[in-house]
Structure 1
Amino acid sequence: MEPAFTDRWQAGERLADRLEDLRHRHPVVLALPRGGVLVAAPIARRLVAPLDLLLVRKIGAPGQPELAVAAVVEGNPPQTVVDEALCLHTGADARYLADQERQALVEIARRREHYRRGKPLPPLKGRTVIVVDDGMATGTTMRAALRGLREAQPAAVVLAVPVAAPDSLALLEGQAERIVCLSRPAGFRGVGAHYRDFHQVPDSEVMDALAAHDRAARAGGPLDASPD
C-alpha cells in the first residue's frame, strides 16, 4: 500500500489546511520533538503562530524501546502517564519505571537547555494551544503531553497528528477540545510505515526549523521554514 504522506513537512501542510480556521484565535503551536517539529513548522507558518516545543520523553518497554509503556512531560512538577496494561504485559515493573523516569527527566533537562537555553514554556494560560506530533501509536506520549498542558490552564487544546492508531485516538477523546487526524488506518503498522521519508530527525534539523521560523517571525514576512 502506498504511504499516505511524502514526508513530515507535507503532512504538516495537509494538517494546516484543516486548522486554518484557528488563525483568528492567535494560537500557540507546540511540537513534540523531534519528528513533530517538522510537522508543526508549516502549521505555525500558515497560522502565523509562535512555534515552540513540548518536551516529552517516552519510556519504552524492556527490550522494546519503541513500544511506549509510559511517558514523562515537562512541568512543575513533571507529569508521568503509565499504561498499566502494557506494563503488565511487557514486564515493566515499578523499579524499571522509576529508573527510566529518572533518565527521562535528565534528557528533558538536556533538551530544555539545548533547544531553549533553559527557558520554560511560554505562558499558555488563556491561549489556544495546538499540540503536534508526526503520528501516534499507543498514545501514551500524547496523553502525558495533554495532561501536562492542563497545568498551564490554556483556553483550549487542539491535538493535530497526520496518522494514528484508531484505538489510541479513542483513548484521547475528551482530553482535547478538538482532534485533527488525517489518517486512522484500521491496519495501523506503526507511524513510519505511513511516510515515504521517515528519517531519524537529528537535533540540528530541529534547531534549523525553529531558527528559520524565528527569523521569519522577526522579519515580519511569511513564516516559511520549508526545508526546500
Structure 2
Amino acid sequence: MTGPDPSPLQLFAWLSPAFPVGAFAYSHGLESAVDEGLVQDAASVEAWLGDLLRHGSARQDAVLAAEAWRRAPAGDAGALAELNDLALALAPSRERRLETGGTGRAFADAIRASWPEAHCPALPRGEDVAYPVAFGAAAGTAGLPLRASLEALALGVVGNLVSAAVRLGPIGQTDGQRVTAALLPEARRLGAFAAASTLDDLGACALRSDVAALRHETLYSRLFRS
C-alpha cells in the first residue's frame, strides 16, 4: 500500500463547479454592484475582482487558508476552532457570513464523505465552518503543496465571480474568459504572498465590495443569496 497521492490534481475537483458547496448561489455582493452600475463591463469586472485579490476578502481568505493548512496536520481541534471563530467573525455582513459558513460547511461535509485522505477530524462538526478554513484544512491534511493550493483557491474565487457576472449580464462568456486570464498573475501573486503569511497579515480594505454586500441584503429583486 502506498500513501495518498499528494498531486494537486485534487484541487481541480475540489474547486470545480461540480463540487457540492453551492457557490453558484452567491455573488459576494457583485449583484448589488451591477444593480448600482458600479460594475457594467469587462474592465469594471476585472477591476472589481482584482481589488478583492489585492486588498479584499480573497486576500484575507488566502491568509486564513494558509493558517488552516499549517494547523490541520497537528489535529489540534482547539486551534482550528479558534481560527474558524476568527474567520467567521471577520465576515463584514450577514450575507457574507452566510456565504462563507454555508459553503465551508458543505465543503467539509463533501470532503468527509468522499475524500477520506483529506478529511481533518479536528475541524468543527455540526456547525458552520468558514470556507477558507475548511479548504486549507483539507489541503493540509492531504499534504497538498501550500502555494499551489492557495493559487488554486484564489483562481477559484475569480471563476465563481466571473460566472456570477456572466449570469448577471454585464459580460458574456468570452469576456469572462478574458477577465480570468488577465487575473491569473494576481492569483499567482496572492498565492505566493499568502504562503509566507501569518495571522498578522490579516486585513482587508475593499470598501466598495463590503458596502455592496451590505446593500444586497435589502435589494428588492435578486438572483443570488449574497
- Structure ranking higher in strand proportion: 1
- Give the TM-score normalised by structure 2: 0.33
- Structure ranking higher in helix proportion: 2
- Give the TM-score normalised by structure 1: 0.33
